[in-house]
Structure 1
Amino acid sequence: MPTACSPLLADNMSGSSQPSQDSKAVVINDPVEEFSQAPVYRSYKRRWYGLVALMLLNIVASWAWLTFAPISSNVADFYNLNSESPVNWLSTVILFTYPIGSVPCAYTLHRRGVKAAMAVSAILLIVGSWIRVAGVKCNDGKGSFGVLMFGQIIIGLGQPFSLNAPSYYTDMWFTSKSRVSANALASLSNPLGGAIGQLVSPAFVTETSQFSNSVLWVSIIATILCLPAFFIPSRPPLPPCPSAANPKLPIPKSFKLLITNRRFIVIFLIFSILVGYFNSFSSLINQIMEPYGYSSDDAGIDGAILIVVGLVFSAIMSPILDRTHSFVLVIRIQVPIIAICYICLIFTQTESKQLVGPYVVSGVLGAASFSLLPIALEWVQEQVFPVSPELTSSILWSGGNCVGGIFIVIMDALKYDSNEGDPPGNMRRSLIFQAVVAAATIPLPFLLGSKDKMRNRRIEMDAAEATAECSATSTSHVSSV
């Protein structure tokens, strides 16, 4: 049994279990028999295969979400649309569909487990991708915008089954020493897919005639990346730690506890607003930058910087937090930084077409936003344990996606018409709205309460079990001498 005290256990088991004649110690129980009855925990290497499959699903889901955002003008030309506003709905519809898919997703994870949820996600993503191909190839190559939109809706229904799963998966397969890092890898692969979409779509589509073939190639790649999800193990033979073995509360009881938990409500507000703004900014970045003379490639690179820098910084921060567990401190630092970045975005969009300003602000914004995601997902579960992790992640992600859809609609409505504004068609009013709401989140982390009243319940349970096990091992070793 792999524990911190296993050397003592090995010494004790290798020696005689009978006391010497000179010893005054009395052996009451056979230590070998005592240890054989103790719970056994084990971390399996196969957990990484399941994590990679989950990452691939999230990459596909996000790539599909942002396929059309960086080439919105080409999409509008292909379908002979009067404006880019209908193209925005290709991203927005996925965000609004997300909460609908989250309801069956939570019950699938709770009743059937992560393997069933990932299989459902893979099927819906594949089907939705090929419906999109029909949407660009039908009608003698002229396509059907309605069919394309239907494919997006199917993808939107499949996205929760992969994006809500990381908290459930890490709780089942990983210990408290690696949950944040594992959750970061799985959850942040979703925006990684967005970065791929931001870069690949403009590269595939340099002119409108290339649009239909680009959708076909994305569907082929998506199908290949979804296949590993059908072959992951359903659950580990042995739990990795005590908190993973602890039974979780039923969904109805978990929901009642969540809506009365102040810390969960505060994190829900922060998570929904900041994830919502990331979703809206990623979807509209091309339309924000183009009026000032930036190209779609410039906008795509800016979106990629936002995501790639965020992924790198999160990869650095997550292992540190797995060891220090300084969740609240980081939340209180990152939220004001994110708000300041959204304020700075108002002033970086200028007709001078200086790329340094937008790129630097996007990099800082990505670093702060991305490192905050896995922290919020894992810290909330520490506070509400043993509430079902699939329910907490489903509610948080549903809030972020739904609010993101609302923000896109509002920001699109605040956009100047093509013959209004300076420059015409700019989104300065949208950026001001974004900054004001983001600034309103700054006080929220300080409503979480004092640190001494917060308990990391899963971490405490695992630490208490390890301490008790070490104590029992030491006692049995002494008694056998």
Structure 2
Amino acid sequence: MRRLCDDRIWLTFAPVANQSGQYLKVSLEDINWLSLVFMVVAIPLSFGTTWMLDTLGLRITLILGSWLNMLGALLRFLGTLPPARFKLEFPAVMLGQTLGALAQPLIIFTPTKLAALWFPDSQRATANMIASMSNPLGILLANIVSPVIAETSAQIPKLLLAYAVPACITCLLATLGIRSGKPPTPPSAGAETSGSEPFIQGLKLLLKNKPYLILLLCFGSGIAVFTCFSTLLDQILCLKGYSNDFAGLCGALFIVFGIVGAGAVGVYVDKTKKFTEVTKIGLSLSTLSCIAFSVVSLMPHQKVAVAAVCSLFGFFGFSIYPVAMELSVESSYPVGEATSAGLIFVSGQVQSVVYIVLLQTLTKPITESPLSTCGDAVLSWKVPMMVMAGLSSVFTCCFLVFFQTRYRRLEAEEQAAYGTRENNDTTTSYQIVEN
């Protein structure tokens, strides 16, 4: 629930970009920065967050993140009330977004750590999937709630209040309800040695790990493409006459099918341990969906095609996120889970900032667009969409060709289990001889 609230705050304004710009009296580029600030802030903060998770544990990290998230949500709402109205509203909203951005790394790194500490190897991928899917669920709610509540610019304060209330409830539940960061008995050998490598030493090991670096770069690009899609969807579709409600529906389909795909893939990977194969197939199919979206999004009167492509994009893309996070741990063990998975997230955030700024730069103003529902700012997204599809294709091909790895954590757990069996057999034999 905590992560769900954070992602709703992240994308509060993206589905209603035009209304938000009108109310806050800023440009669409400024509205996009309300989402981009999450990526900019997360990049330097992520290193401290990985250290916190691997050193201080889950409980302290989660509670701190909940408080930052609540304060950010409240500040956004209060900044739109008199006397801040017309003077400090955008700075106040941006500051609230920044506090929410500070909270994001404190929670978004936790699924892999949670799965490693609390679940055996036969359940880790599924546990990671369930925890990770709170992220797209938050995006889903933002795509549904924002257009429904903020039909006009005057309803933006009401929208911010609707997001502040759950953040306060979540903070209360986290503060009072989280009693321990790990179970009294480790569920696996990997859980016993979780975070065994010191943080700096872990970073050095990761920088020497070729498979991990390939995953870092290529899957980070995939995260960036999905971030661009979530942030810019409304602005892309409005040019061809698609409404905010339809853009919200496409975002919802993107998430719903992603959750369905993640559920199926998580169970499959837990049974087969085919992390690499599933990631490669999912990344390839999501890239094909990205290419299809870059084409159909530029066509008017194609609601069925646009909705179908968004559904496939989510189904193939979101389904591999928790698997790739588990793969990052498998390829880098014994480095701490928060460190290995966290750097993947950092890579995604860095590339997200670059991609969004690049795509915005490549847009061109259009003087006449009779179908447009974009308001005053009418921009052509043809070139940016082709560039996004091209980047996705390049990094996917690199991953398919160059990525190969051992499953180091599974190997270590098998060796530990084998050693335990040997010791038990030796003890039993000794007792028989004694008798």
Residue 313 (1) aligns with residue 267 (2): no
Structure 2 match to 1:16: none
The separation in 2 between residues aligned to 1:141 and 1:332, in whole angstroms, is 50
Q: Is the 8 A contact 1:181 1:318 kept in 2?
A: yes
The separation in 1 between residues aligned to 2:294 and 2:188, in whole angstroms, is 47
The separation in 1 between residues aligned to 2:403 and 2:50, in whole angstroms, is 29
Stretch deviating more after TM superposition (218-227 or 120-129)? 218-227
Structure 2 match to 1:229: 174
The separation in 2 between residues aligned to 1:340 and 1:284, in whole angstroms, is 19
Over residues 4-50 of structure 1, what are the superposed CA-to-partner deviations in whole Å (9 max), with x where a residue is unaligned?
Answer: xxxxxxxxxxxxxxxxxxxxxxxxxxxxxxxxxxxxxxxxxxxxxxx
Structure 1 match to 2:120: 175
- Partner of 2:306, secondary structure, is helix
The separation in 2 between residues aligned to 1:399 and 1:287, in whole angstroms, is 25
Structure 2 match to 1:68: 13
1:426 Cα deviation after fit: 2.6
> What amino acid does structure 1 have at the position aligned with 2:416?
E
1:106 Cα deviation after fit: 1.7
Counterpart pick for 2:355 among 398, 402, 407 = 407
The separation in 2 between residues aligned to 1:439 and 1:214, in whole angstroms, is 37
Residue 239 (1) aligns with residue 180 (2): no
Q: Is the 8 A contact 2:79 2:85 kept in 1?
A: no
Q: Is the 8 A contact 2:58 2:181 kept in 1?
A: yes
The separation in 2 between residues aligned to 1:415 and 1:139, in whole angstroms, is 37
Q: Which runs of 5+ in 1 are unaligned?
A: 1-55
Q: What pairs with 1:79-478 in structure 2 (closer than 5 Å)?
A: 79-81=24-26, 83-139=27-83, 141-142=85-86, 144-230=89-175, 231-232=177-178, 233-246=180-193, 248-419=196-367, 424-448=378-402, 454-470=405-421, 473=424
Q: Is the 8 A contact 1:292 1:426 kept in 2?
A: no
Over residues 305-348 of structure 1, what are the superposed CA-to-partner deviations in whole Å (9 max), with x where a residue is unaligned?
Answer: 11110011101110110110111111221222122112111221
- Partner of 2:365, secondary structure, is coil
The separation in 1 between residues aligned to 2:261 and 2:82, in whole angstroms, is 43
The separation in 2 between residues aligned to 1:246 and 1:85, in whole angstroms, is 46
> What amino acid does structure 1 have at the position aligned with 2:408?
R
The separation in 2 between residues aligned to 1:466 and 1:107, in whole angstroms, is 29
- Partner of 1:136, secondary structure, is coil
The separation in 2 between residues aligned to 1:345 and 1:222, in whole angstroms, is 33
1:187 Cα deviation after fit: 1.7
The separation in 1 between residues aligned to 2:410 and 2:84, in whole angstroms, is 60
TM-score (norm 1): 0.83
1:228 Cα deviation after fit: 2.6
Stretch deviating more after TM superposition (328-337 or 111-120)? 328-337
The separation in 2 between residues aligned to 1:244 and 1:349, in whole angstroms, is 45
1:103 Cα deviation after fit: 2.3
The separation in 1 between residues aligned to 2:336 and 2:427, in whole angstroms, is 36
Counterpart pick for 1:78 among 11, 17, 23 = 23
Structure exhibiting the larger radius of gyration computed from Cα positions: 1
1:159 Cα deviation after fit: 0.3
Q: Is the 8 A contact 1:69 1:286 kept in 2?
A: yes
1:474 Cα deviation after fit: 5.9
Stretch deviating more after TM superposition (125-134 or 98-107)? 98-107
The separation in 1 between residues aligned to 2:358 and 2:259, in whole angstroms, is 28
Question: Residues 168 and 358 from structure 1, CA distance in 2 versus in 1: closer, same or farther, beyond 3 angstroms?
Answer: same
The separation in 1 between residues aligned to 2:12 and 2:347, in whole angstroms, is 22
RMSD: 2.0
Stretch deviating more after TM superposition (346-355 or 334-343)? 346-355
